[in-house]
Structure 1
Amino acid sequence: MKIGILNLQGAVSEHQAMLQQLSVETTLIKNPSDLAGIDGLVLPGGESTVMRKLLVQNHLFAPLKELIQAGLPTFGTCAGMALLSLPESFNMIDGVVVRNGFGRQKQSCEELINVTGLDAPFNAVFIRAPYLESVNDDVEVLATTDDKIVAARKNSVLVTAFHPELTNDTRMHEMFLKMVK
């Protein structure tokens, strides 16, 4: 199994370290040619508007959108959640996304949340995080906090508003890897 990690900005090395801890081969995605042979994709946190501009500039937006919409298992965290949810981006999670929904940098926080499929609460790290205000019926809500949807799944796409790669807990990445298999 080989997982590609979008390497334009954001928490790239943290996702790479988490996946390597799980003995998974990773490759960094900067150009369309880097997409060859990947079995899954991670869209890390960062700044979604900047990431989308860099995707277009690096000629990655169209080939990524085609792969994701064709069913490539994809895990988006924070800005990755926004990119996978916004209609002008990949538009894979049907719902309403609120960018920076948890406030500015000063409002960043950690919170224990219950995630469907995990046997114990997950320590979620929120940094200028988006959230899903609502989703269509075909989206499975995996976690909420204060009526904000912070983890969801639809078909081959998993999204979290938080940064599991900034913890020592591999369970969200393991959930994604099960989707890849």
Structure 2
Amino acid sequence: MKIAVIAAQGDVEEHVVAANKALKKLGIEGKAFATIDKEEVAKSDAIILPGGESTTISKLIHKSSVAEEIKKAAREGKPVMGTCAGSILLAKHGDEEVRKTKTKLLELMDIWVKRNAFGRQRESFQIKLDIKGIGDFEAVFIRAPAILKVSSNVDILAKLDDYIVACQQDNILALSFHPELTDDTRIHEYFIKMAK
């Protein structure tokens, strides 16, 4: 199994390490690797879109034509996971800040997102979430977006207060937080199992 971690910006290496640990724990032959090459993305079995700054990531993935490969992979049923800013890019609908920054969304999930819903960098925090299918998970929020609402075809996996912070639509997974910044690989394992 080949897992492409889109190397536009953000916690790329941390996702590579977490996904490789998850593959090993599951006993699955494969490799997670960092790339922004559209051919490598096209040949992958699953794609991770890390956090960072959504406007910058959007520009880089569209400039490199990786955006089209991500959309094509999602349409083909390959698992795609977006974390933090990556979850913003997966959405069909963004808030005023998304529109103001002219962030080009991939429009793969029937979700509405809000940038920086939990505050700026200094308001970062870690909290235990009860994630459907996973259980208790120590989630790291850094300038995190929130999912305001979802269509009926989207499964809500976790909420924090009134905000949705994890959801899944078929083969696509959106998380407001950073699972790669913990030693717990269960979310990456869950994601990898989606490709089986």
Length-normalised TM-score, structure 1: 0.94
Task: Give 5+ residue unaligned stretches, structure 2.
Answer: 25-29, 94-103
Q: Which one is further off, 21-30 or 38-47?
A: 21-30
Pair 1:63 & 2:63 matched: no
Q: Is the contact between residue 42 and residue 73 of structure 2 (CA under 8 Å) also seen in structure 1?
A: no
Which residue type is aligned with residue 11 of structure 1?
A: D
State the 1:159 CA deviation.
1.1
Distance across 2 between alignment mates of 1:133 and 1:9: 25
Question: Which of 133, 139, 147 does residue 117 from structure 1 map onto?
Answer: 133
Q: Is the contact between residue 138 and residue 154 of structure 1 (CA under 8 Å) also seen in structure 2?
A: yes
| Residue of structure 2 in register with 1:82 after alignment | 88
* Aligned residue-pair number: 180
Question: Which of 152, 156, 164 does residue 137 from structure 1 map onto?
Answer: 152
Q: Is the contact between residue 28 and residue 34 of structure 1 (CA under 8 Å) also seen in structure 2?
A: no
Distance across 2 between alignment mates of 1:38 and 1:62: 14
Alpha-carbon RMSD: 1.3
| Residue of structure 1 in register with 2:14 after alignment | 14
State the 1:64 CA deviation.
2.1
Task: Give 5+ residue unaligned stretches, structure 1.
Answer: none
Which residue type is aligned with residue 40 of structure 2?
A: D
Distance across 2 between alignment mates of 1:130 and 1:33: 30
Q: Give identity over the alignment, percent.
A: 40
Pair 1:152 & 2:167 matched: yes
Question: Which of 160, 177, 180 does residue 192 from structure 2 map onto?
Answer: 177
Deviation string 1:67-108 (CA, Å, 9 cap, x unpaired) is: 223322101110110010144422122121001111111111
Length-normalised TM-score, structure 2: 0.87
Which residue type is aligned with residue 57 of structure 1?
A: K
